[in-house]
Amino acid sequence: MEFHFSQVENGACPYLQNRNWTTHAFRTELMPVSIYEELIDHGWRRSGDIFYRNACVGCAACIPLRIPTDGFTLSRSQRRTLGRNKDVETSLLPSAYSPEIYNLYRRYQETRHPNDHDTGPEEFTRFLCTSPVTTAVSLYRVGGRLIGAGWIDILPNSLSSVYFVFDPDESNRSLGSYSILHEIELCRRMERAYYHLGFWVSGCQKMEYKSAFKPHEILTDAGWQRHQTTSNGSGQDEEIL
C-alpha cells in the first residue's frame, strides 16, 4: 500500500495561543483497520479520509492518550454523570448520512463552534459519514428524541473516538463525559483492550477533561506509558480530534 505524504500548514493552533499548527498528512479512501491501529500507536489520527500526524516546529504538546479498559475505574464525579443520564437509551449503527443526525450536528456546530466549521451536509458527510476504516455511530436518545451522537472507529484491539456532538439544550447532562463512559463499556463488551481518546493537551482547558479518565496511558518516545495527573476534568463536554 503506497501513500503520498505532504506537509500541511493549518494556520493557528486550535488548542494553544500564539502557535501554528503543522501536520504531515496523506489521503486514502481505504485503510485496513490493522494498519490504522498501528498508525495510532505512532501518533497518527484521521479526519474524514485524511490521516495526519502533528509536526509543529518546537512543540509537542498534543499527546495521544488511551484508556486500558480492563483497569478503568469510575470516579465519584463520573458516577454522578451516569446517574444524571440513567434515562438515556443508546444504540450503535454503521456510520451513514441521516437527516436526523445531520440536524443535531449542525445545531451543535452553530452553537459551539459558529466560526470554525463548514456545517453543510457535504462537509458533514466527508468528515463523519464516509470513512476509510470501519466506523460506527453511537446514538443517545431520551424518550425517542436524539440528544447525542458519537463516532468511533472499530479496530482489532481498540476503539478510537472520532467526534461527539450533543443537543445544546442538554448541556447540564455532561453528555461528552457520559459518551466516553458508554464507549469504554462498549470496548469491554466488544473485548477491545484500549479506548483511544485522541490528543491530550496539558494547559488547554477544552482538552484537559480527557485526563480525568483513569488510569490512562500517553504515547511517549518509549511507547505507551502509564500517566498520573491531578486534573479533575471538569468543565468540558465534547470530543475533539
Homologous superfamily in CATH for domain 68-195: Gcn5-related N-acetyltransferase (GNAT) (3.40.630.30)
Burial of 59 (0-12, 13-18, 19+ CB in 10 A): middle
Instruction: Provide the pairing of β-strand 45-47 with 145-154.
Output: unpaired
Tens of pLDDT, residue by residue over 173-225, are 999 999 999 999 999 999 999 999 999 998 888 888 899 999 999 999 999 99
- The residue extents of the domains of the chain are 68-195
Helices (H), the chain: 33-40, 76-84, 99-112, 121-124, 175-189, 205-208
Question: CA-based Rg of the chain, rounded to a whole angstrom?
Answer: 17
Q: Give the global pTM.
A: 0.92
Instruction: Provide the pairing of β-strand 45-47 with 50-54.
Output: antiparallel
Q: Answer whether 48's CB lies under 8 Å from 130's CB.
A: yes
Quick one: cell of 157? 484491539
Tens of pLDDT, residue by residue over 26-74, are 999 999 999 999 999 999 999 999 999 999 999 999 999 999 999 999 9
